[in-house]
Structure formats: structure tokens, C-alpha cells
Chain A
Amino acid sequence: MISMFKVFVDQLRRILHDRVYISLLTILPAISLLFFVCFFSDVSIESLPIVVVDNDHSATSRELVEMINATASVDVRYSAQSVHESQTIITSGRAYAVVVIPHNFERSILRQEPCSIILYNSGANISTNGFIEKDLQRVATTFNAAISLERGENLAQILPVQFEQHILFNAELDYAAYLAPCFMPMMIMIFSLLGSVMAVTDCKIGSVRELLTRCLPTTIAMILFAVLMLVLLFVWLKIPLNGSVWVIIIATILLIADYQAIGVSLAALTKNRDLAISLGGGYSVLAFTFSGLTFPTMAMFPILRFSSYLFPFTYYMTIMVEQALRGAAIEISLPNIGCMLLFLLLPMVIYKRL
């Protein structure tokens, strides 16, 4: 025990004498978490600038433009005389969509003839596209309902089937609740891996106990940051926490342990600090894509879908979504906790073979 204490003190000494090492256990994680807090503190898809080409210039068309402007997502910031003129506003990056009101708009409505409003919606950004489409669609539906009411039409003829929409788990489609629980743990994950690589390279390791002791400062630092992260997520950013915080805490500790295990394994395999850092860093950043949060793994080719299972982060994200957003029962997350535990065996396998 005493010798392990000596090893621990020696490791602390190594860290304190190394500017880079200290930074990755203190300043860098702090800055990274701070960035995401600042970024997600006030993220809302609102007032996206669009262009309106009103070819009708009637009271009705102006009313429509008013309705469009009143929606949350969209801000009618520009008006143009033609589609051609509006094109440059889009390609200059000043607006995301163009709404064209045809020149016989009011007349068509009065004559009970069908007419179309055209929406040119940029697909370059899927997020803006979705919000603009949703709000414009709602305006069109509301406008139609108002017209039908005035005409005394039977709604059942125009909209035979209607659906009542219930948005589960992230009812406001809050991007902070969607992305922050992913990006912030990723930072803890990266520094856990880097810290463990730094710990076990460039020094002689005699035993497994020594290995664990040298990794301990990284573990402690990362657990402290993890606590900070959880407070920032659920208290400061007010991300929903509908399930078990204990499952999340255990999962986060396992995340730290797993990525340290991976760092230690990489160090053993490469026997080269810089290479281990390169590979480890590269592997960590890939975790986001293969977690399937933004693009589902079910839509990937089989071999890539399979490789998502090789990232502990994939299981972590599933647990996070289940517990934080969905409020699932603890039993549902247990299999993923089990998978995360398996990764701890990795260094043992690697060391056996060496």
C-alpha cells in the first residue's frame, strides 16, 4: 500500500512538472465545458431571415406575409421583386428561404380557385429547412382553415384526416437538450483517454496496481469535471432529467474508466506516446458519428453499423437519452451499462497478448 502511495505521489509530481499534462487535466476540460455552456445557453431556432416576393400586393397577400412574420422560426427580413433577385440574397448567405406569392392570389381566393404559394427552402442546412417548412406549412393550414370558415365549407372535404401531434421527450425540439448531453461528455471522454496515455507512457510500469495508481490522478480529475458537467447540464442549462441520475452518474464514471482503459491499451500496443495520442484522439472524435445521435446507425451500411458497437460512447449516449430525456425505467439501461463494463476488460486482453 505504501509503495502505491509513493507511486501516486510520483505521478502527481510528473503531472505538476509538465505544463501540457496539467493543462489537459485542468484548463482544457474547463474551457471545453465552458464553450458548450456558452453555446447552448441561448440556442433557439428563431427569426431565421427569409425573403418574400409578393407579386400580388393586395390586402390578402399582406395579411399572409403578416402571418408568416408572426411565426417564431421565421423573420421576413427581405422583400424582393422577383425570384431572380431573391436568389442572390440566399447565395450571399443572408436568408434561408424565399416565399413567392403569385400575382392573382387575392383574386383566386375570392373566386374560390385554387392557388399555390411557392416556398424555395434551402436544403443546405437541414435544421433551418425543417423549422421553416414546419412554420410555413402551419401558416398555409391556418390560412386555409380561415378561408374555409368564411366560405362555410366542410372541413371534412378539404382535410378528411387530421392528426393530433404529440412530441415526446423533447417537446420543444430544444437543440440544447438534444446536443449538449452528447458534446459535453465527449470532452470528458477525450481528456480521460489523453490523460491515461500520458500517465502510462514514458515511464516504467511494474505491475497492474502501479498502472491503476498512475491513472488515478486522471480519474479523479475527470470525475470532478464530470460532476461539474452534470451540474452544468441539468441545473444551469436545465436539460430535462426525467429518469435516474444515479444511472447517469454510474454511466459517466464508466465512460471515464472505459476511455482510460482504451488509452492504456493503445499505449501498450503502440509503445509510442505520440502515436497513441494521435490514434486515441482520432478514435474519440469518431465516437460522435457512430453514436447515431444525429444520423441513425440503422441507416448506415452493416459494417459501419456494427462498428458503432466498438465505441463505449455509443452505449453511454443511449443511456443518456433513455434516462435524461425519456425517463426510462432503470432496467432498460442496464444492458448498456453491462456493455460499458465489458470495455474495462480490454487492457487485460491486450496485456495478456503482449
Chain B
Amino acid sequence: MIQQIISAIKSEYKLIFRNHGVLLVLIFAPLIYAVLYSSAYAKQVATKIPIAVIDNSNSHSSRELIELFNASPYIDVRYEAEDMFAAKRLLFDGKIYGIVFIPHQYAESEIEKKQRWISAYFDASYFLMYRQVLQGVAGAISSIQTIQPGVRLQTHTLFNPALGYGTFIMPAVLLVILQQTALMGIGMVGAIERRLRRKTTPPTAALLGKFIAYGTIYAPLCAYIFAIHYHIFGYPENGTLWNCLVVMVSYMTAVIALAIALSTLFRRVETPLIAIIWSSIPILLLSGASLPTEVFAKWLHTIGLLLPSSSGVPAYIRAQSMGADISELIPELVRLWALTALYTMVAKYKISERFASPGYPLS
């Protein structure tokens, strides 16, 4: 039995390492994507977003306000427009993302000890820009306060203090990339194996051999991505090694199980690529990492639970970004192991079927 498992592992390695297409998808793609995406989001926040100010007051007070805007890290008064027409032109040309209009009675209001009103126009076609321009303008204005309000809202941003975009999305993206490339790469191996119609080892040994083979490939790959790559790009590392390992092992086992099960269906090498590549964004959305699960249809989320990523992504984010404990991750972990059991049974069944069918000589 042990011999059979070892020979299964060896033949799996051969299939993987002798085929450049498989190597590309299984090992190089996750690494390349990890670097590309992380590098794109490396700056994490947008700073000094250009806005335009229409200063109809042209007074000491208004200049003071413009100074405050410029002092904000979020915005930069790149243009002082003559009027709304000119400002709107800049907006539509994509040169600015916000317009602040200071009316001519701005300084007079200050002298008369009345509230000074300005108008702010925010471009909400790009949400990140909108949020940061709003923060810049609101922040500058609130710094003019002379007296403390009765009730002050003191905000502490947990887990991602700078609200960095990379920190927000990359943990989920990395996990989904691993799942998708596993489904595609292992799927390709399945198709090649089917085409070769080689002598197969008994189902249990074959299955175990595959699990171990892919386990040995993903262990260093995941270790690199979630320990080294993570660290290089400064993503939050608030979880204990043990908790993160438990989640990672649970997740990748379920992913490999699903991949092996699916791989039994493919007859041609291009099929897994075509069948799976388009689903990456839907799967990322279903994981609840970009838009929370409360926000979209529950039935869609429930169907998505058939995928390891829908449980693995939230579990890992809570473990690593929030420092959650295993006891707080039980539902997700249970789901992952249930999926592993389910897909392993399917894989076992499909492999046994092929093993028993004519045309496959027994060793």
C-alpha cells in the first residue's frame, strides 16, 4: 500500500513537472499574480488627490481655508478655477475629483460671527477618490473648530488603521488566486492523465498520492505567500502562527479535494482553463471580502458556500488581520472540512469508476 502511494505521488509529480503549462498555472501564476497585484496596491492609499477651488471671496479667511485643504494629505488644490464652468471642464477632463466653491460672503460671515457655508462637489464615479476627497475636505474644515462640540465621535480604525486598499483586498485575492489556479492546474493534470490512459494505481492510493503530492507543493508555496510575501508588502499579521496554520491547512485541503474531484471531469487540457478563469471575480465577490455577505442575496451566498473560498477567505482574514481565535472560526472550519469530506468522496468515486472501467489495465 505504501509502495502504491509512493508511486502515485511520483507519477503525479511527473505529470506536474514535465508539463510546462501545468507548472505555469499551478506554481508560477500564483507567484506572478501575487507580486503584480500587491505591487499595484503597494501605496495602499491615494494621496494628494487633485481638486479645484473656486474662490469668490478672495479674502484672508478664504486663503486660510485653501491652505488647510493643501495641508491635508488627502487632497491637493491643484487648480483655482474662475467659475463652475471651468471647474466642471476640469472634472470631465479627469483632472480633478472634487470642486470646492467658496462664496463671496465667506469672509463677511466670519466677521458677523455667523456660520460660514461653502459648497463641495464630490466625484462619486470612483468610490475611493470620493471617500478620500471627502475626508480631506471634512478634515480641513473640522480643524477650524474653536470650541469642542458637546459630544465628540472618537474613531479608532481597527485592523487596517490607514484604510489601505492592499491590506483590505489582498488577503482575499491571494486566497482566491490559490483556489482558482489549483482548480485550473490540477484540472489540467486530470485531463492529461485521462488522455494518457496509463496504468493507474488503486483508487485509495491514487487519491492519497495526489493529496500528498499537491500538499507538498502548496505547503512551501503558501508558506512563501503568507509569511514572506505578506511580510514584504506589510499586510496585517495579527494572528498566531497556529491559528493561521489551522485555517490555511483546512482551506487548502478543501481546495485540493475540490480540484481533484473536478479534475476527473476534464478530458482536454484547455477545458479547466476556460471553465474556471472567468469565475475568479464572481468567486471573490461571493467570499464577502469586497462587499460583505449582508449586502447581497442570501441564496447566492449559500450556493457560494460550496466553494472553499467562501469559508476560507473570511476565516483567514479574521485569523490574520483581526487575530481571531480558533473558537471564533468554528463555523468556517467545520464547513471547510465538510467540503473536504464531500469532494474527497466524489473524487474517490470518480477515480474508482475509471479504475474499474475496461481499457485500464491493472498493474
Contacts and interface: CB of A to CB of B under 8 A. Distances in A.
A119 B167 CA distance: 21
B13 interface: no
Interface string A275-303: 10110011011101110111110111100
Interface residues of A, number: 113
B43 interface: yes
Contacts of A136: 153, 155
Contact of B115 (A116, A121, A162, A282): A162
A66 B261 CA distance: 51
Interface stretch (B123-131, B194-202, B218-226, B245-253): B123-131
A39 B297 contact: yes
Interface in B158-179: 158-163, 165, 167-169
A164 B153 contact: no
Contacts of A127: 127, 290-292
A156 B128 contact: no
Contacts of A144: 149-151
Contacts of B119: 163-164, 166
A159 B273 CA distance: 58
A21 B314 CA distance: 35
B46 A298 contact: yes
A156 B114 contact: yes
B117 A90 contact: no
Interface stretch (B138-146, B208-216, B335-343): B138-146
How big is the B interface, by class? 35 or more
Contact of B150 (A24, A109, A190, A332): A109
Contacts of B43: 299-301
Contact of B145 (A46, A122, A159, A329): A159
Contacts of B65: 161
A321 B144 CA distance: 35
Given A90-B322, A162-B116, A167-B130, A190 B121 contact: no
Contact of A140 (B110, B127, B151, B277): B151
A167 B122 contact: yes
Contacts of B317: 124
A187 interface: yes
B36 A286 contact: yes
Interface string A315-335: 000100110011011001000
Contact of B278 (A20, A32, A168): A32
Nearest to A322: B92
B41 to A, nearest CB: 6
A205 to B, nearest CB: 18
15 contacts: A20-B275, A91-B318, A96-B292, A117-B151, A117-B154, A122-B322, A123-B168, A124-B322, A126-B160, A136-B153, A162-B118, A164-B118, A277-B270, A296-B126, A301-B42
